[in-house]
Amino acid sequence: ARSGGTGPYGNGINVFRAGGVVVSNNVIDDCDFSAIRMNSGTNVQILGNACRRLGETAIFAEFGFDGAVIANNIIDGAASGISITNFNSGGRLGVASGNIVRNLNTTSRLPTEDPIYGIGIAAEADVAITGNVIEGAPSVGIALGWGPYLRDVTANANVIRHAGIGIAVSAVEGSGSAVITDNLIADATRGAVLGMRWREIATGELADGTASDTPAHVSVSRNRVS
């Protein structure tokens, strides 16, 4: 990270504009930024890695990526867990499955004027988030979309414990479809499933699927809250 910038340096493994790469079975500790950062790659698999004590988002699929499978990784200690985002730059098409994400915090070593950290898994476009366990995400367990940047995302059969908000979904006009089903959410201090306008809460509790203020583009059902 001493070489400067906010992405090219300070990571354990970088994948940049490469296709068909498999990053698997690594142990990656104590990076200033990410354990694994994939920028503008195609059909990249990130599988079975153990990532600890990261200074920023532990596993990142960003900018114009097209196809990412992030599965069966363990993340213990980071500013945020997994990010499959940057739909505004064309980033799309991914799976986050079978990951354990735990012990996140809300501060980062990445210099930024407007930080949002403490998020377990974030996704924006054409992504399935299924079968993950997230524990200790002080901001949000699973974040679906950011402003209008949301299209065709599912969050299904995840376990979320000790989060600020269990699942946050963009409620901004122009957002695409999101489906939130069969998740178990325990001890979410601000709410289990909430619609958001960027940082601000825009709805009441949506978890049981019957709320009258559920956004029209969001389907919510069969979630268990405790």
- Tokens (6 digits) for 111: 């210099």
Phi, psi of 87 (to 5 degrees): -60, -30
Phi, psi of 88 (to 5 degrees): -65, -20
- In the predicted model, residues of the chain with pLDDT beneath 70 are 1-7, 110-115
The residue extents of the domains of the chain are 14-225
What are the pLDDT digits (tens) for 197-211? Answer: 999 999 999 999 999
What are the pLDDT digits (tens) for 18-28? Answer: 999 999 999 99
Q: What is the pLDDT of residue 116?
A: 84
Cα separation values, 25 from 17, 45, 49, 95, 179, Å:
22, 11, 5, 18, 31
Q: What is the pLDDT of residue 107?
A: 86
Q: Which CATH number fits domain 14-225: 1.10.3470, 3.30.450, 1.10.510, 2.160.20?
A: 2.160.20
Q: What is the pLDDT of residue 212?
A: 96
Query: Which pTM does this prediction carry?
Result: 0.95
Task: Please tell me the distance from the alpha carbon of residue 183 to that of residue 180, in angstroms, as a whole number.
Answer: 7
H helices present in 14-129, as ranges: none
Q: What is the pLDDT of residue 171?
A: 98
